[in-house]
Chain A
């Protein structure tokens, strides 16, 4: 079966009930997508299927036949979200980061109205992505910074306390 993976058509030979996650990592060699919990709780394996964020650990590969799949590798390394996560300290150990960024893409993506999403919208939007390092504040800041940057304005982040030194 054929899918479009990060913009290029690719033929998949895995059995139909193989998890999309395993096909991406093992057959396609794209190890940026991480396995955390394997039960749809942590969001570490989030990828986009036809522009929607899904947990790749819960998707039988047969269900993405003909679909467009985007993984973290599809962002190329210099996406505004990737830069913002690095600059704002939104990544520490890095396991949750690819999934965070893939979900965040749907918050700042082409379907949004061009304005930076509210802090509330970012928090709700990322509720399915767990991070055990950062405490989330830097992640929310990174997403809003990236959204503001791509919309050409600086986001107002009144609800997010500034990083506390020594805390």
Chain B
């Protein structure tokens, strides 16, 4: 049963400071940006909240992607369309641009925001494995405590649960420079729109002398939250073949059966993706040439 919207309250701050004061003083408020998740829940009557805060007036200050001390600072209100078109994102974090292009159709990409994807805390959120593999940090801000940074992997505490306090807003995502080849793959029922059955983002570090750097592998839709795969990463860093690492991965993840897929399918596809990632980013014997000559990342593997 659709929620009756006439009973819903919407606060509309004009500035970030005003928004943070409302978050502190007005009791529990659900932030609304592109509304692409909030309205799905409202349309189906599954959202108990009745008080909302509209962040759309803050788009000018929180909707941009900028460089900050070598890192990318992605405003929480950056839409998927913004991410897919951003020169900084396509050059420094192409796997994020790729993920953005595969979320929903253009209508969703024009409205949905990366801050919303992070805040919604779905295990199937498509940008989350990218952010996990990139060692991103979530920037939270409150009127009480100013700004704090939480590594993405520490941001989620369980299914749909995060460390965000009720008075905090996600204002940005910080992504340090990523060295190596980036790889992203989403597996769903169709090319567009579908919610992921499995989604993987991974980084293969440059070869040669820097090969002590571990590969970084993150998976969505195989656990209550997005996960990194430290044991699998360790195996590959230690010289395991992709086939050996696959066995480590299959023991490391604990997917479930749900409406979109089965645990067995997810485990198998995750293994396939791992082997594919390793093959497409240089294979087993390519360790001396896997690096990016310019130190910049411009490989994009679909």
Specify whether A and B are partners.
yes
Residue numbers of A with Cβ under 8 A of B are 15-19, 22, 38-41, 43, 46, 52-55, 57-60, 62-63, 103, 106, 124-129
Could you tell me which residues of chain B, from 15 to 48, have a CB within 8 Å of some CB in chain A? 32, 34-36, 39-40, 42-44
- In Å, the complex CA distance between A62 and B40 comes to 17
Does B259 make an interface contact (CB < 8 A)?
no
- Identify 28 residue pairs between A and B in the complex whose beta-carbon atoms are under 8 Å apart, listed by A's number: A15-B5, A16-B12, A17-B8, A17-B10, A17-B42, A18-B6, A22-B5, A38-B2, A39-B44, A41-B193, A43-B107, A54-B110, A57-B43, A58-B36, A58-B39, A59-B35, A59-B111, A60-B32, A62-B10, A62-B12, A63-B56, A103-B106, A103-B107, A125-B106, A128-B104, A128-B192, A128-B193, A129-B105
Q: Which residues in B have their C-beta under 8 angstroms from that of A22?
A: 5
Given contacts A55-B111, A125-B106, A128-B104, 8 further A-B contacts (CB under 8 A): A15-B8, A17-B5, A38-B44, A43-B105, A43-B107, A57-B39, A106-B106, A128-B108
- In Å, the complex CA distance between A43 and B104 comes to 10
Q: Which residues in B have their C-beta under 8 angstroms from that of A16?
A: 8, 10, 12, 54
- Do A17 and B52 contact each other (CB < 8 Å), given the known contacts A40-B36, A57-B39, A59-B111? yes
Count of B residues near A, CB < 8 Å? Answer: 30
The reply to whether B10 and A60 contact each other, CB–CB distance below 8 Å, is yes
Q: Which residues in A have their C-beta under 8 angstroms from that of B108?
A: 40, 55, 58, 128
Does B251 make an interface contact (CB < 8 A)?
no
List the 4 closest pairs (A to B, CB-CB), nearest first: A128-B105, A127-B192, A17-B8, A16-B10
Could you tell me which residues of chain B, from 78 to 106, have a CB within 8 Å of some CB in chain A? 81, 104-106
The reply to whether B104 and A40 contact each other, CB–CB distance below 8 Å, is yes
CB distance from A98 to the nearest CB of B (A): 13
The reply to whether A63 and B6 contact each other, CB–CB distance below 8 Å, is no
Q: Which residues in A have their C-beta under 8 angstroms from that of B111?
A: 54-55, 58-59
Does B161 make an interface contact (CB < 8 A)?
no
Q: A107: nearest residue on chain B (CB-CB)?
A: B106
CB distance from B112 to the nearest CB of A (A): 9
The reply to whether B6 and A55 contact each other, CB–CB distance below 8 Å, is no
Q: Which residues in B have their C-beta under 8 angstroms from that of A60?
A: 10, 32, 35, 39, 52, 54
- In Å, the complex CA distance between A124 and B104 comes to 11
Q: Which residues in B have their C-beta under 8 angstroms from that of A55?
A: 36, 107-108, 111
Say which residue of B40, B43, B52, B193 sits within 8 Å of A127 (CB atoms): B193
Q: Which residues in B have their C-beta under 8 angstroms from that of A62?
A: 10, 12, 54
Does B191 make an interface contact (CB < 8 A)?
yes
